[in-house]
């Protein structure tokens, strides 16, 4: 079985400040890790993913996440947030080598304050 | 490029009524799935399908039925709606369903059961 923990349900941050959204996972097998973003009244869309190779992965809009196997974490960071980053962010995990039974975290609402 | 299309966007049902949530994708994806999203609980998998004619249960299947007669369509049926089924429902698809592939989500159906 696998699980994902997002400890912060809401994170308020001022515009242009840095932010970190935390994600920890547990699994007995190798995993793939994802961050999805959900803007208000929309579906989820992929932000970035870790499959293998470099442990630091980046998105096109300035977010990055680092896979840390020893700490079983995949925290999402951005050095300077914008109002447009206000959304809910979901960390997700799937088991390597198997069908896509995705396990989602409970989500973190990022509120960027002007 | 429609992607994943869900209808309706909003629905109010009375307890005991039945309805079908429609989901269609035009990307020729083999894998399709249904999730429900509830506050503080993230997304939970209801049912999934790895191809036409093949479906299986997810984490919370009770009260829901699915079928997959074509690659494109994956409807979700509520046979006798209950207030506990008030939620936002998302349909998702991915190319092959393996754990390393991205899921593409519809815009969601917001269902209220009174």
Q: How far is A44 from chain B (nearest CA, A)?
A: 6
Is A100 close to B58, i.e. CB distance below 8 A? no
Q: Is residue A107 scored above 70 in pLDDT?
A: yes
- Each residue of A39-69: pLDDT tens digit? 988 889 999 999 888 899 999 899 999 999 9
For residue B62, give every residue at least 6 positions away whose Cβ sits within 8 Å of its Cβ, in sequence order, or none.
none
Nearest to A43 among B50, B101, B108 (CB): B108
- Residue A99 pLDDT: 63
Helix (H, G, I), strand (E, B) or coil at A40: coil
| Beta bridge partners of residue A13, listed in sequence order | A112
- Residue A96 pLDDT: 72
Which residues of chain B does A36 touch, with a Cβ-Cβ cutoff of 8 Å?
A: 103, 105
Residues B114, B106, A110, B101, Cα dihedral to 10°: 130
Residues A73, A76, A78, A84, Cα dihedral to 10°: -170
- Each residue of A83-96: pLDDT tens digit? 999 999 999 998 77
Return d(Cα B47, Cα B59) in angstroms, integer.
8
Which residues of chain B does A9 touch, with a Cβ-Cβ cutoff of 8 Å?
A: 40
In 10 A of CB B29, how many CB atoms? Answer: 22
- Each residue of A4-26: pLDDT tens digit? 999 999 999 999 999 999 999 99
In 10 A of CB A32, how many CB atoms? Answer: 21
* Residue B102 vs residues A35, A99, B10, B40, B91: alpha-carbon distances, Å: 10, 12, 26, 23, 13
- Residue B76 pLDDT: 98
Residue ranges in chain B modelled with pLDDT below 50? none
């Amino acid at each position: 079985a696998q699980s994902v923990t997002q400890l912060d349900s809401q994170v308020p941050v001022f515009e242009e400040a840095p932010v970190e959204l935390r994600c920890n996972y547990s699994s007995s097998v190798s995993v793939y890790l994802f961050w999805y973003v959900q803007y208000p009244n929309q579906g989820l869309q992929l932000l970035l993913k870790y499959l293998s190779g470099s442990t630091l992965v980046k998105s096109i809009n300035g977010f990055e996440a680092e896979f840390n196997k020893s700490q079983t974490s995949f925290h999402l960071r951005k050095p300077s947030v914008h109002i447009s980053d206000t959304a809910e962010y979901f960390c997700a995990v799937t088991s390597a080598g198997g069908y896509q039974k995705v396990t989602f975290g409970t989500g973190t609402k990022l509120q960027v304050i002007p | 490029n429609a992607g994943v299309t869900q209808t309706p966007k909003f629905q109010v049902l009375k307890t005991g009524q039945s309805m079908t949530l429609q989901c269609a994708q035009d990307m020729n994806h083999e894998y399709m799935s249904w999730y429900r999203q509830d506050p503080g609980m993230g997304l939970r998998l209801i049912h999934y399908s790895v191809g036409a004619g093949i479906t299986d249960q997810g984490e919370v299947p009770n009260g829901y039925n699915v079928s997959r007669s074509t690659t494109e369509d994956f409807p979700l049926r509520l046979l006798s709606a209950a207030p506990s089924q008030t939620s936002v429902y998302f349909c998702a698809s991915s190319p092959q369903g393996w754990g390393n592939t991205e899921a593409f989500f519809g815009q969601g159906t917001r269902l209220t059961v009174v």
